[in-house]
Each structure stands twice: as C-alpha cells, then as structure tokens.
Amino acid sequence: MLIELKDINAFYGGIHALKGLNIHVDKGEIVTLIGSNGAGKSTTLKTISGQVVPKTGEVIFEGNDITKQPPHVTAVSGIAHVPEGRRIFPRLTVRENLEMGAFSVKDKKVIGERMERVFHYFPRVKERINQLGGTMSGGEQQMLAIGRALMSGPHLLMLDEPSMGLAPIVVEQIFEIIHELNKEGMTILLVEQNAYQALQIAHRGYVIQTGEIKMVGEGRVLMNDDIVKEAYLA
C-alpha cells in the first residue's frame, strides 16, 4: 500500500465534508474517485496534501503518518497535487513554471533529466518553453500543470479534474498520457466527474457520495454496474 486514509472525518466549520472515509492506493495503481459536485473528492485530495487537516483519522504514506504534515512538507516528500483549475503561474514562462515544480531540487542534472522526461510526455510543452504560462491554451496549461507536478519526482501523482473545461480531443490526449505515465510506473489518484473515461483507465475506483464511500471495485466492473451507469455515466 502506498497511501492509506483511515476513518477520516473532515469539516469546514459546521460542514461535515468527509464522514469516516477509508481509501487506499497501492503502488503502481491508477485509482479514481468519482462522485457528483460537492461529494468530497477535492477534500480527499486536500486531506492527503495537508491543506485540510482532518478532525479524526489518519493519512499514512509510505508507512509514515502524514496526517498533520503541512502542504509544503508533503509536496517535497513524494506527493504531487495538481489542483482543480490547474493554477499554473501565468506570468512565468513555461520553463520557469517547470523549474518551480523542482524548487527543492538542488542538482541541476536531476532537474534537466526531469525536464526531458516532461518533454517526452508533452512535446507541446517543449515547443512552448519560452512562452508565458498564462498565454497557453487550457489543454496546454493542464499539460504544463501535470509536467510541473512531475518535476518534483513524485511517488504519488494526484490529479483533480484534469479534464475540466477541455475539448473532447484534448481530454482524450490527457487521459492517454495519464495512462502512459502509469504504465511507466507512476501511481495515480485521479479525481474525475468524467467517470466514463476515468473508469476506463483505472485499476480501481471509489464512488463517493456526500463524504462517504458508497462503492469500490475494479474500474471495468464499476463501469458495468447499473447504479454507477445511471448516476454517473448517463
């Protein structure tokens, strides 16, 4: 098990956002968390990255309790979080955005190697290397955001709604790259409203509803489940 969330209860003031949530991701898996608006998907990722500290429960990553670890520590300890809406640095160039992803790395050779790896997955990012981040298209910004996350050398890559607001053909490309990254060894936790595509590439999926896990199973099995079909694949 690479990461495990045990019996997590998280609140925003009086709002009980996660209610006794249990999930885990094994090394090498793509796991997807699907659910409607407000179900608690982003809160789950924020609980892992340290932006939300749960009232009760534990987050265990590579055998260590990281429940109360602040986000800047989590970010350099092997977990990369690509948030909803991408949030690249619009006034920095593509190269500077990528370098920011590796801010904790001192070895220039390692930074160069990681950048080459990003270019391998995203040739478009290489083509735009000197362009300002904010002038890239939505799909290019998503590629840059994932590339920036890879620059930290993560063991777990968390993606929050990578398909949001993108044209179908771009969504297809992004999902292909997520799949390829995983085939080459990256463990991925993927939050999606686009349940069909997420379940197609996921080893396992969790269905979350009002802060509770309602179903768990292999991606292909969930895809053929009548309740999932009706609620999320219609």
Residues that bind ligand ATP (CB under 6 A): 12, 15, 17, 35, 37-43, 84, 193
Residue (118 or 145) nearer to ligand ATP, CB: 145
Question: Over the range 62-91, which residues count as b (16 or more CB within 10 Å of their CB) and which as e?
Answer: eeeebbebeeeebbebbbbbbbeebebeee
Please report where in the chains the tokens 């000197």 appear, as a residue.
130
Nearer to ligand ATP, 61 or 232 (CB): 232
Q: Closest separation between CB of residue 78 and ligand ATP, Å?
A: 23
DSSP string computed for 112-158? HHHHHHHHHH-HHHHHTTTSBGGGS-HHHHHHHHHHHHHTT--SEEE
Q: Is 44 or 67 the residue whose CB approaches ligand ATP more closely?
A: 44
Minimum gap (Å) between residue 15 Cβ and ligand ATP:
5
Q: How far is the CB of 10 from ligand ATP (least distance, A)?
A: 8
Residue 57 vs 95, nearer CB to ligand ATP:
57
How far apart are CB 210 and ligand ATP at their closest, in Å? 8
Name which of 42 and 69 has its Cβ closer to ligand ATP: 42
Least spacing, CB of residue 26 vs ligand ATP, in Å: 23
Tokens found for residue 179: 């799949």
Q: At what angle do helices 94-101 and 138-150 cross, to 10 degrees?
A: 30
